[in-house]
Structure 1
Amino acid sequence: MKKILIASTALISTAGFAAAEVALSGRAEMGIFQYNAAYGAAKGLANNGDPQFFTDIDVTFTMSGETDNGLTFGASVDLDEGGAISNATQNNSDDGGATIFISGGFGTVTMGDTDGALDWALTDAGNVGNPGSIADDETEHAGYVGAYLDGNNNGSNGDGQILRWDYTSGAFGVAVSLEDDNGSNVANTGIGYAVGFKYSMNVSGTTVNFGLGHQKAADNVGVADDIKATGVSVDATFANGLSAGIQYADWSSVGATGPDSNMGIGLGYTTGAISMHVNYGEVELNNGTKNDGFGIAAAYDLGGGAVVHFGYGQGETAAAPGVKQKSASLGLGLSF
């Protein structure tokens, strides 16, 4: 979910360094959240479908500076990762973490909790014109694929630490990334990699973005084939407030229930203070079955950083055909 990063700043100047800046920003969310028993079982949530309060607070420190020879550098950390003020219902790791970067004429090198090159290059259909919801209902359904193989070591959980180099020149961008094999797990012996390309063009006031990329997860001992994904995306933003996008990825997965391909489409529309979004996605599995679902999000901007959010998601998995997993939320998002 987008966060407006503006608050207090501190300027530090020394004889040996150019000026450095430290910015503190925050976001708070409150409302209600409800899901049915099927969704709870799929997500491992204890509540059996009763409405419950939803609260979440993110506090982000963003630091930046510049060397004497013109290199820029920076870091950011999201304090909700520490757990003390994390969301007790959904402590999503994709809210942020810690990242460090350095940038110059060679491009930008980023390390930490950041996107791999495939995810960097592609526009997720669920993000096209999406104003967001407090519980991310519209991007949590069974048919949504967001981060591809980031944090996935051939089916086992990686540590999500990524090193990415990216370079942009005009309308063209390229990135290469590496992800370590989570050395705490002796079964993982290799390093995952990804490469991605972006191109943007403007046609009579319409911005069109293209993305292409390939990714391989870290090797796993005893597994004959590595998990790989190759994807493309196209999205467009029109002058009348409408936006649309489509993404597709072909997978080479381990196991009968691994992904064979995934597809997503998304539509968004903004007029004045009102924003709306809908997306549909499906994941074709190697055994010929599929997971699919759709999501809806709507928002009304009250101004001053306060936004009313509504979200709804519904999905169905091959493991439980005919059983609908549903979730919804309503509340306020407050940016500081």
Structure 2
Amino acid sequence: MKKVLFATTALVLTAGVAAAEVTVSGDGRMGVRYDGQTATTDNEWNFNSRARVKFTLSGQTDGGLEFGGSFRADQAGDSAASNGAAYGLEGSVYVSGAFGKVEMGDVVGASEALFGDFYEVGYSDLTTIGGFSNDIPYLTGDNGGFSVANQVVTTIGTGTTAVTTTVAGAYTSGPNLLYTGTFGAFSVAASMSDGKNKGADAGQEYAIAGAYTFGNYTVGMGYEVADGDFVDVDMLTLAGVAKFGNTSVKAAVSQLGKDADANWYGLGVSSVFGATTVGGYVQKLDDKSAADADVTWWGIGAEYDLGGGAVVKGGIADDDLSGTDAVADLGIKFSF
């Protein structure tokens, strides 16, 4: 029934358009999650579920240039830049060819495009009470993205255990532009924002990255700049990935400069044993400013592939901020 629906939809939407295609997919999850305790809040166990639909569009010109885009149903409003009401803040579009790929919209920065993140712990992508997850703390991308500037901005923790840092100034920078290209063993990426927040002046982002792959090993370096509304920060990241059979190891180290003074270190590992995958990560932010807001966070989890697009997955994550508790979950993820 689903295949018939997809085929009918494609025929209707692509009538008269050569080599164009529209597909519909989706994902969902359901389970229970322990949201941890703080000095003032006791969330304990909660039900957690979600369902999303994704639209993927693709086409090709007579000359072989590929183009397309994607967005989820919940992103539809902010992915349509019509009459100046939106600025393409959600979803993304692209063109690609022998020169590489150019994307615009809610896309990652150059460093993340080449190096990615660590193993995703938990079926609900667990985030600690302090606001930390498996994401490597890149400075740019994803509409201003995470960045260390966002994770440790103003206050984390609760009550008298709260800590602050001068690594601040995260912002929404509008749609981003990302270029990626692979030429033999070398991969390159460059990205930037338009320096606007829905038309208003905002901070500017730039990033460039390169990687070299030899056998089962990849090494690379990325440089990012975020000229924020409050402070200007740059970050230099060195990353490496190694594969040993069914085990993958990823390590990275970053140094923040300009108005920030901090170092970051991270290590992630995942292994596949038949239908079972186990993985985890540990990360540390070493803040050398006067605030001295050092934080270490970690996560470990496992999943079992049931086949047909269903996976049983769970995990636990925590940070070393005092006055907070670990978070954990267990549930089922679906892909359609």
C-alpha separation in 2, matches of 1:52 and 1:233: 37
Question: 3-state DSSP class of the match of 1:156?
Answer: coil
Q: How does 1:276-315 map to 2 (within 5 A)?
A: 276-285=278-287, 286-287=289-290, 288-315=292-319
C-alpha separation in 2, matches of 1:25 and 1:277: 26
Shift of 1:259: 5.9
C-alpha separation in 2, matches of 1:18 and 1:259: 54
Q: Establish whether residue 74 from structure 1 lines up as the match of residue 87 from structure 2.
A: no
Q: How does 1:150-169 map to 2 (within 5 A)?
A: 150=141, 151=144, 155-169=169-183
Shift of 1:276: 0.3
C-alpha separation in 2, matches of 1:259 and 1:98: 34
Out of 47, 53, 63, which is 1:53 matched to? Answer: 47
Q: Which ranges in structure 2 are unaligned for 5 or more consecutive residues?
A: 78-88, 150-167
Task: Report the CA distance shift for 1:178/1:296 in structure 2 as closer, same or farther (over 3 A).
Answer: same
Contact 1:138 / 1:295 at 8 angstroms: preserved in 2?
A: no
Per the alignment, residue 242 of structure 2 pairs with: 236
C-alpha separation in 2, matches of 1:168 and 1:184: 32
C-alpha separation in 1, matches of 2:326 and 2:283: 15
C-alpha separation in 2, matches of 1:54 and 1:253: 41
Q: Establish whether residue 120 from structure 1 lines up as the match of residue 122 from structure 2.
A: no
Task: Report the CA distance shift for 1:269/1:113 in structure 2 as closer, same or farther (over 3 A).
Answer: same
C-alpha separation in 1, matches of 2:133 and 2:125: 13
Contact 1:234 / 1:245 at 8 angstroms: preserved in 2?
A: yes
Out of 178, 188, 205, which is 1:192 matched to? Answer: 205
Task: Report the CA distance shift for 1:74/1:82 in structure 2 as closer, same or farther (over 3 A).
Answer: closer
Shift of 1:333: 0.3
Contact 1:75 / 1:99 at 8 angstroms: preserved in 2?
A: yes
Out of 247, 252, 272, which is 2:252 matched to? Answer: 247
Per the alignment, residue 136 of structure 1 pairs with: 125
Contact 1:211 / 1:232 at 8 angstroms: preserved in 2?
A: yes
C-alpha separation in 1, matches of 2:105 and 2:63: 25
Per the alignment, residue 274 of structure 2 pairs with: 272
Shift of 1:73: 0.1
Question: 3-state DSSP class of the match of 1:174?
Answer: strand
Contact 2:219 / 2:239 at 8 angstroms: preserved in 1?
A: yes
C-alpha separation in 2, matches of 1:123 and 1:201: 18
C-alpha separation in 2, matches of 1:297 and 1:237: 19
Contact 2:172 / 2:197 at 8 angstroms: preserved in 1?
A: no
Contact 1:8 / 1:24 at 8 angstroms: preserved in 2?
A: yes
C-alpha separation in 1, matches of 2:60 and 2:104: 18
Identity of aligned residues (%): 29
Shift of 1:200: 1.5
C-alpha separation in 1, matches of 2:283 and 2:134: 4
Question: 3-state DSSP class of the match of 1:80?
Answer: helix
Question: 3-state DSSP class of the match of 1:38?
Answer: coil
Contact 2:265 / 2:284 at 8 angstroms: preserved in 1?
A: yes
C-alpha separation in 1, matches of 2:134 and 2:51: 28
**Structure 2 length-normalised TM:** 0.78
State the Cα deviation string for residues 130-175 of structure 1 (Å, max 9, x = none): 5x42221278637964443330696132145210112111221111
C-alpha separation in 1, matches of 2:238 and 2:114: 9
Contact 1:181 / 1:219 at 8 angstroms: preserved in 2?
A: no
Contact 2:29 / 2:124 at 8 angstroms: preserved in 1?
A: no
Contact 2:14 / 2:21 at 8 angstroms: preserved in 1?
A: no
Contact 2:171 / 2:228 at 8 angstroms: preserved in 1?
A: no
**Structure 1 length-normalised TM:** 0.78
Contact 1:121 / 1:197 at 8 angstroms: preserved in 2?
A: yes
Letter in 2 for 1:313: A
Question: 3-state DSSP class of the match of 2:38?
Answer: helix
Q: Which ranges in structure 1 are unaligned for 5 or more consecutive residues?
A: 1-6, 42-46, 84-95
Letter in 2 for 1:108: K
Contact 2:310 / 2:332 at 8 angstroms: preserved in 1?
A: yes
Per the alignment, residue 106 of structure 1 pairs with: 99
State the Cα deviation string for residues 181-212 of structure 1 (Å, max 9, x = none): 23458563x5211001122121xxxx212221
Question: 3-state DSSP class of the match of 1:8?
Answer: helix
Task: Report the CA distance shift for 1:259/1:114 in structure 2 as closer, same or farther (over 3 A).
Answer: farther
Shift of 1:70: 0.8
Contact 1:138 / 1:311 at 8 angstroms: preserved in 2?
A: no
Q: How does 1:193-212 map to 2 (within 5 A)?
A: 193-202=206-215, 207-212=216-221
Task: Report the CA distance shift for 1:183/1:299 in structure 2 as closer, same or farther (over 3 A).
Answer: closer
